[in-house]
């Protein structure tokens, strides 16, 4: 091989390799933005202005650390824009990697039957580290404790937790997520269109503000 041939081989290989690695990883990890067809329904847990035309839907998993991180940002954004948007939380438990994700979603739904979905939602995220590593039976005991703390009827909560209604509601959310090809949590849909997860509160504000302005025109 000539010396310039060798140079081309060396540096070309280096640059090509670097470009290939970056390209391949972007292709594998990049979220494919999808469109959500399911609109809000009676069974959704909604805050904000229910009549609003601007609908933000989050698919989330109570055991996912990124969802916990996002929950504060979401709360801030939703309370700021509550007179302009409707926000709904839907379950997308990543059962394969989070063993208590399914039962925690059921706990929130069972609390919802007593009108305290959001209270349970907050406690589950707040105490995520406590129950995430527990075996399921122990996690259920922890959830019962939270139910008591937020003032639920414990017996009803325990009965609802594993009732078919609750299990089906969680499964229905999962089904709608799979239909929309949700691939990660949290995933946000703003008026049916998936948005890239905002990096900061300001970025989230901007996305919502832009959508509101678009709708006011």
The answer to the question of residue 76 lying near other proteins (CB under 8 A) is: no
Give CA angle at 23 (181, 21), nearest 5°.
120
CB of 184 to other proteins, least distance (A): 5
Pick from 118, 134, 197, 207 the residue near other proteins by CB under 8 A: 197
| Binding residue for other proteins, selected from 30, 51, 135, 213, defined by CB under 8 A | 30
Applying CB under 8 A, which part among 65-73, 108-116, 134-142, 147-155 lies near other proteins? 65-73
The stretch among 58-66, 80-88, 134-142, 208-216 that binds other proteins (CB under 8 A) is 58-66
Question: Contact with other proteins (CB under 8 A): which of 16, 18, 126, 155?
Answer: 18
The set of long-range contacts for 174-182, using a CB threshold of 8 Å and a minimum separation of 24, is: 174/91, 174/92, 174/93, 176/36, 176/38, 176/90, 177/59, 177/90, 177/92, 179/37, 179/38, 180/34, 180/35, 180/36, 180/37, 180/38, 181/32, 181/34, 182/34, 182/59, 182/92
Only one of the segments 6-14, 35-43, 79-87, 134-142 lies at the binding site for other proteins (rule: CB under 8 A); that segment is: 6-14
């Amino acid at each position: 091989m000539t010396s310039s041939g060798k140079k081309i081989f060396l540096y070309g290989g280096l640059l090509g390799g670097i470009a290939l690695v970056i390209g391949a990883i972007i292709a594998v990890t990049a979220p494919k933005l999808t469109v959500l067809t399911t609109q809000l329904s009676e069974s959704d847990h909604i805050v904000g202005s229910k009549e609003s035309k601007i609908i933000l839907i989050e698919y989330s998993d109570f055991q996912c650390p990124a969802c916990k991180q996002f929950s504060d940002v979401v709360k801030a954004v939703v309370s700021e824009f509550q007179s302009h948007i409707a926000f709904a939380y839907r379950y997308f438990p990543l059962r394969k990697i989070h063993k208590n994700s399914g039962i925690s979603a059921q706990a929130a739904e069972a609390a919802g039957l007593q009108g305290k979905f959001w209270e349970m939602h907050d406690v589950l995220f707040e105490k995520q580290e406590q129950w995430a590593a527990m075996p399921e039976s122990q996690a259920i005991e922890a959830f019962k404790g939270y139910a008591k703390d937020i003032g639920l009827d414990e017996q009803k909560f325990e009965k609802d937790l594993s009732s078919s209604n609750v299990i089906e509601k969680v499964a229905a959310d999962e089904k709608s997520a799979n239909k929309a090809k949700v691939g990660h949590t949290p995933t946000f849909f703003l008026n049916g269109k998936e948005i890239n997860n905002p990096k900061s509160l300001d970025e989230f504000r901007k996305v919502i503000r832009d959508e509101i302005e678009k709708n006011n025109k």
